Structure 1
Amino acid sequence: MADKYRVAIASTDGETVNTHYGKSEIFYIYIVDDDEGYDLLEKRSLKPVCQDGIHDKSAMDIHVQQFTDCKYVIASRIGDGAIQSLTTQGITAMELPGSIDDAILKVWKYNRIQGLF
């Protein structure tokens, strides 16, 4: 049986992973099926959690709650505080700048390898 999971991707154009996690206003949510491929489910608009380099812990925790249905969050850059908050919720954070197609392929490979252990 194929593994299905959601991936949130920080992007300004829906084609490239080109936004810092804390500064992104839009996250593209994809459903990935290890056997069937992937499809865009939705675009989520969020208020950026990074405000002039200042990161409020409670604001970060609220922001992370918007991704609890996702297994992975991908951005061009993700700060240590965001990684810690995401990891606490069981979400894997990855810095994968470049095309969304390439990023999802890397996540797919990573997920398949993790399934071996």
Structure 2
Amino acid sequence: MRLAVASIDGYTVDLHFGQANAFYIYEVDDDGIRQDDFVGVEKYCNADPTHKFHESRFKGIADALRGCDAVVSVRIGDTPRNALAEVGIAHVEISGPVATALPLAVKQLSDHPAA
């Protein structure tokens, strides 16, 4: 499973989806967890207190995450979560070390495929 992780350092799931200016891409399978890529993006959230949906910013993120099965972050708003689902990318809200968080995320996705 290919997962995009919102992380400051690549070792911990520690960012809200909208605060990530990059995603660490991991492959998780029976052989373990491997970092496969790192993609920079324009941060989805800005100082706009209305938190309106920013289609162009979201499109840039969705394009960068193409091929990922899911995004893993501490939190995500309903609008970007639904927009990810529309392009076939699931989301899991979880925090903690990548080594423990990603297997839990895979389990959650397997148990609840529409997560």
Please confirm whether the aligned pair reaches a TM-score higher than 0.5, indicating the same fold: yes
Aligned-residue sequence identity (percent) comes to 30
- Match for 2:55 among 54, 57, 78? 57
Indicate the residue corresponding to 1:78 in structure 2.
Answer: 76
Query: Structure 1 CA distance, aligned partners of 2:25 and 2:46?
Result: 23
Query: Structure 1 CA distance, aligned partners of 2:44 and 2:33?
Result: 28
Indicate the residue corresponding to 2:107 in structure 1.
Answer: 109
Does the aligned pair in 1 maintain the 2:70–2:92 contact within 8 Å? Answer: yes
For structure 1, the 5+ residue unaligned runs are none
Letter in 1 for 2:21: E
Could you tell me how far 1:108 is from its partner in structure 2? 2.6
**What is the aligned-residue RMSD (CA, Å)?**
1.7
Letter in 1 for 2:2: R
Task: Tell whether 2:16 aligns with 1:20.
Answer: yes
Could you tell me how far 1:70 is from its partner in structure 2? 0.3
Letter in 2 for 1:42: D
- Match for 1:41 among 20, 23, 36? 36
Query: Structure 2 CA distance, aligned partners of 1:22 and 1:111?
Result: 21
Does the aligned pair in 2 maintain the 1:61–1:85 contact within 8 Å? Answer: no
Indicate the residue corresponding to 1:7 in structure 2.
Answer: 3
Could you tell me how far 1:110 is from its partner in structure 2? 2.7
Could you tell me how far 1:112 is from its partner in structure 2? 4.2
Aligned length: 110
**Structure 1 length as normaliser, TM-score?**
0.83
Query: Structure 1 CA distance, aligned partners of 2:110 and 2:60?
Result: 30
Q: Which runs of 4+ in 1 moved over 6 A?
A: none
**Structure 2 length as normaliser, TM-score?**
0.84
